[in-house]
Each structure stands twice: as C-alpha cells, then as structure tokens.
Structure 1
Amino acid sequence: MDFKYEENRIYLESSDGKCIAEITFPSISKNEVNINHTYVDTSLRGQGVANKLITALVNELKKTNKKAYATCSYAIDWFENHPEFDDLYLEDKK
C-alpha cells in the first residue's frame, strides 16, 4: 500500500485521486499530536487498512520524537490493544 504523507495526515488515494483511507493528527504542541480521525472507504474495510494507517503514524511519531493523544475511537482502541506503544501514547489530555 502506497500511503501519501502530508503534515498531520497520512492517506491513500484511489486511481482516480479520491481519498479512500486516511488518518489525521493535528499538532497540539511542538511534540504532541491528537489523532482525531481515521477513515477507511467501504471498499477497503476488513483488509486491515486502518491498522496499517495507524502503524504508519506510529512509525512517524517515532521518527519525529512525538507523542499522541487520541480522540478518534479507533485510535483509542488500537493503543489499548497495543501496549508495546505506551511510550508514544498520552492517555489523558492535560
């Protein structure tokens, strides 16, 4: 899967340029982001695309030395099920 990377967004486009999957994570401080949205088009559901998106984001967080809060229910559940990434996840917003 060839995700595209923008500041505060990782996404996948269809061949006609339509966004078919994305995760957004606006900055809330210099070293923190809020994972606020995960979307996967119905044509891709059940294929692990959301997991791949958040894994790509986790890799970006590691590279940039950032940590994340989550207001997106998928991201909250994902971090709860992946305690190996607790060092990147800030459960409670200040």
Structure 2
Amino acid sequence: MTDTLPEIRLEDSGSKGRYVLRSAAGDEAEMTFSRAGEHTIIIDHTEVPDAFRGQGAGLRLVTRAVEEMRAAGKKIIPLCPFAAAQFRKHPEWADVLKS
C-alpha cells in the first residue's frame, strides 16, 4: 500500500524541520524534529491524518529520518511516542539512536 503514498519532502528551517507527505487533496502527514546540537535531532511529533491511516505513512516518515541521519553520521532522540515505539520495533536502527 505504501507505493500509493506521495513522495516525502523535507522542510528544514535550521533549528527545526519536518518530513511531510502531502496528498493531492491537501492532507498532510508529518514528523517534526528539532536540532539538539550539530550531530543530533529530536523527533518531537508525528501526526497522520485519517486520509493516510493504514498506509504506513508514519513508519515511512520515521524511516526516512533514520536513513538520512545514518547517512550523515548523526543521532536521533525519539521523544515522540510513535517514533519511540518504532525504534523499539526496529533494533536495526540502534546505530542512530542517541543513548
């Protein structure tokens, strides 16, 4: 089902940012983050509207952040309950988890 989701966009304002999926109808699924220094981001919120429910949108957003932070050699602090749950379900992400 995730093949039908739109492309994830990164909106970055320097100290804060978000990964967003926007539907043709204008619905947005988002995962917001804040920077905690040069090498760490804090995932602070994930929101998936009903239009995206059951399609893996939230997981795709967190996965994208994990992939980008891994490639950049950075770490993630998952304060958002959804993101924290995904880190528990994906032990292969331990290399980007800030301990």
Q: Give distance in 1, aligned partners of 2:18 and 2:62.
A: 11
Give the alignment's TM-score, normalised by structure 2.
0.83
> In the TM superposition, what is the alpha-carbon distance from 1:14 to its structure 2 partner?
2.4
**Count of residues in Structure 1 that have an aligned counterpart in Structure 2:** 90
Q: Which runs of 5 or more residues in structure 2 are unaligned?
A: 1-5
Segments of 5+ residues of structure 1 without an aligned counterpart are: none
- RMSD between aligned alpha carbons? 1.3
C-alpha deviation, 1:27, in angstroms: 0.2
- Kindly report which structure 2 residues correspond to 1:21-40, keeping only aligned pairs within 5 A, or say none: 21-40=29-48
The TM-score with structure 1 as length reference comes to 0.87
Question: How far 1:63 moved relative to its partner?
Answer: 2.0
Asked whether 1:60 is paired with 2:65, we answer no
Give the aligned residue type for 1:21: A
Aligned to 1:10: 19
The runs of 4+ residues in structure 1 deviating greater than 6 Å are none
Q: Does the 8 Å CA contact 1:61/1:67 hold for their aligned counterparts?
A: yes
Q: Is the 8 A contact 1:11 1:19 kept in 2?
A: no
